[in-house]
Amino acid sequence: MTATLITGIVELVTNDPARGDGSPLGIVRDAAVVADENTVLWVGPETEAPAADRRVALGGCAVVPGFVDPHTHLVFAGDRSNEFTARMAGERYDGGGIASTVSATRAASDDELRRHMVARATEARRQGTTTLEIKSGYGLTVTDEVRLLRIARGITDETTFLGAHVVPADADRDEYVRLVSGAMLDACAPHARWIDVFCEPGSAHAFDGDEARTILRAGRAAGLDLRVHGNQLGPGPGVQLAVELGAASVDHCTHLDDADVDALAGGDTVATLLPGAEFSTRSPYPDARGLLDAGATVALATDCNPGTSFTSSMPFVIALAVREMGMTPAEALWAATAGAAAALRRADIGRIAPGARADLAVLAAPSFIHLAYRPGVPLARVLDLAERA
């Protein structure tokens, strides 16, 4: 192990409220960090920094925890740009387009799927993302769902079995629910940490509350922890079900009533907001302000997928959260790092403190505020300590 002393940090966001300015972001000015290839060893003012094996001088940048993207669908083949064009001309999104990605994905080789996935993950890393969750959900047969999860496991431990993405076109609904909560789950569970369901009773393609409950309960019995796609296209039982079952996160949360907000505020389930989906489906954004004011824990994610949100950029999501959802720049950064780590129930990421993983994003800017203030500008990069060692 080589310890590196990183200096020249004008603004260090630690997400440790015990440090620096005492805000939730725990901002230390004129800071330094000592880390080895894996772990943060020391954090504090540069004037107090200990010696290390080597030194990296950043020359006046802001440093933030590497972004945690807790919701992606990175393993797929095919292209739905025509569907996007149609939506921009007024067509509505209802999940029906998922079938075309399923066909293209089933037809693709493992190598092809892996190459596409790695290219998207590399794209995310170039924009400051250091942790990715990846879902299956474009296979929808036992063999194809296992294949997608095995491929995703090649680059992350945060893999999610989403056999319950939609009911395949040729399948009987009840039989498919039995398959997803039976043989498909048994085959997929060894390759996944999480199980997820697209719970959207208003969509002919997705699952209602009872179906979602059956599948999530079976997933838990098979040793998986729970996440839910809920309340994306309209009101529904997804949020309440996620809180009742103790899911780590319920994602989208676009159409909430007061009882949904109260449930999130009173429970342990993180509300993960995916404003890239509202952007690309031209839909109203979720009420992040209402959730935060009620006391819910909010995370942000890209939802990177070919249908509703083909972006891998957490800085873009942060900019949308600030401009369109009433979050302050500080709340949006927290949600994209510490909040997102909470959505994955991880304490070792999303913060910069001794013992945490050495996942640091350097900004070509003096402050994290620039992430929203300078939208579309590639400011963030991951600090590669292994390369420098």
Count of residues near Fe ion by CB under 5 A? 1
Minimum Å distance from CB 360 to Fe ion?
Answer: 27
Q: How many other C-beta atoms are found inside a 10 Å radius of the C-beta of residue 364?
A: 15
306 binds ligand NIG (CB under 6 A): yes
In terms of CB distance, is 19 or 80 closer to ligand NIG? 80
Quick one: which segment of 97-105, 149-157, 363-371, 376-384 binds ligand NIG (CB under 6 A)? Answer: 97-105
> Nearer Cβ to ligand NIG, position 145 or 359?
145
Question: What secondary structure does DSSP assign to 206-265, as a single string?
Answer: SB-HHHHHHHHHHHHHTT-EEEEEESSSS--SHHHHHHHTT-SEEEE--S--HHHHHHHH
11 touches ligand NIG by CB under 6 A: no
The minimum distance between CB 324 and Fe ion, in angstroms, equals 18
Asked if 69 is part of the footprint of Fe ion (rule: CB under 5 A), the reply reads: no
Residue type, 341: A
Q: Which stretch binds Fe ion (CB under 5 A): 34-42, 202-210, 281-289, 296-304?
A: 296-304
Judged by CB under 6 A, the stretch of 107-115, 211-219, 257-265, 301-309 that binds ligand NIG is 301-309
The verdict on 307 binding ligand NIG (CB under 6 A) reads yes
CB 359 within 8 A of CB 131: yes
Concatenating the DSSP letter of every residue in 37-84 gives: SSBEEEEEEGGGPPP-SEEEEEEEEEEEEPEEE--B--------HHHH
Binding mask 230-259 for ligand NIG (x = CB under 6 A): --x---------------------------
Residues 6 or more apart in contact with residue 376 via CB below 8 angstroms = 316, 319
Q: What is the dihedral of CA 113, 192, 252, 362, to 10 degrees?
A: -70
Q: Does 133 bind Fe ion (CB under 5 A)?
A: no
Among 142, 96, 97, 138, which Cα is nearest to 117's? 138
Region 260-299 residues binding ligand NIG, contact defined as CB under 6 A = 277
Helix/strand/coil for 111: helix
For ligand NIG, how many residues bind (rule: CB under 6 A)?
13
Min dist. Cβ of residue 102 to ligand NIG (A):
9
**The only residue of 198, 310, 334, 368 in contact with ligand NIG, by rule CB under 6 A:** 198
* Secondary structure class of 100 (helix, strand, coil): helix
- Which CB sits closer to Fe ion, 69 or 303? 303
98 scored as a contact of ligand NIG (CB under 6 A): yes
Angstrom distance (rounded) from CA 106 to CA 119: 19
Angle between helices 142-153 and 98-107 (to 10 degrees): 80
**Residue whose pair of structure tokens reads 């590196």 in the numeric block:** 4
The one segment of 90-98, 284-292, 318-326, 352-360 that binds ligand NIG by CB under 6 A: 90-98
By rule CB under 6 A, what string of x and - marks binding of each residue 101-120 to ligand NIG?
A: x-------------------
Among residues 245, 263, 91, the alpha carbon closest in space to that of 253 is found at: 263
Residue 121 token pair: 């993950």
Provide, rounded to whole angstroms, the least separation between the CB of residue 308 and ligand NIG: 4
The binder of Fe ion chosen from 303, 306, 312, 352 (CB under 5 A): 303
Residue 263 has, within 13 A of its CA and on its CB side, a CA count of 21
* Sites of contact with Fe ion (CB under 5 A): 303
* Sites of contact with ligand NIG (CB under 6 A): 95, 97-98, 101, 198, 229, 232, 277, 303, 305-308
